[in-house]
Amino acid sequence: MIAGTMPALNEALQLYFRGERNLGLALAVYGLALLAVAVWLWRTQDGGFGLALMVTLGVLGLAFSGGGAFLAGKTPGQVAKLEADLKAAPDTATEAEYQRMVKVNQLWPRAKLAWTVLTAIALALIMLVKREWAAGLGLALLFGTTALMATDLFAERRAEPYTRALEAARRS
C-alpha cells in the first residue's frame, strides 16, 4: 500500500464512523421521544387504538434507544481497533475491512425491501383492517419503518465513499 493512500483512507474512515456514532445518538434520542409519546398516550388515550399505539411505541422506543446507545457506544472502540490494525498490518486490515464493507453494502437492498414491506403492512392495517387496535399498530409501525428506512438511506450514503476509499487503498 502506498503511503499517500493512508490519509485519504483515514479521512474516509473518520467520516464514516463519525456518522455512525452520530446516527446512533440520533436513534437513541428518537427512541426516547417514542417512549415519551407512549407515556403521553398512556395518560391521555383509551381503547384499542391508544393501547396498541402505546404498547408498540413503547417497544419501539426501547429498541431504538437501546440500539442507538449501543451503536454510539461501540463505535469509538471499533475505530480504535481498526486504526491499530491499519497501523500494524495495513494490507491485511484494509482487505478485511473492505470485505466487511462489501457485505454491508450487499445488505442495503434487502433492508430497504424489508422496510418497504413492513410499511405496506402498516398501511394495510390502517386502511383495510377495521379495528381500532389495527390503526394504532399500523401507525406505530410507520414510526418505526420510516425511521429505519431513513437510517439505512443515510448509512448507505456514508458507506459508499468509505468503501471506495478502502478499494483505492487496497489497489495501491
Residues 149/108, Cβ–Cβ less than 8 Å: no
Q: Work out the burial of residue 2: count CB atoms within 10 Å of its CB; fewer than 13 is exposed, 13-18 middle, 19 or more buried.
A: exposed
Q: Does the reported pTM lie above 0.95?
A: no
For the chain, what is the domain count? Answer: 1
pLDDT band at 172 (very low <50, low <70, confident <90, very high): confident
- pLDDT of 2 higher than 70: no
* Alpha-carbon span 136 to 54, nearest angstrom: 8
Per-residue pLDDT tens digits for 91-116: 999 999 999 999 999 999 999 999 99
Backbone φ and ψ for 109, nearest 5 degrees, come out as -60, -40
Q: How confident is the model over 65-88, as a mean pLDDT?
A: 96
Domain of residue 149, residue span: 5-171
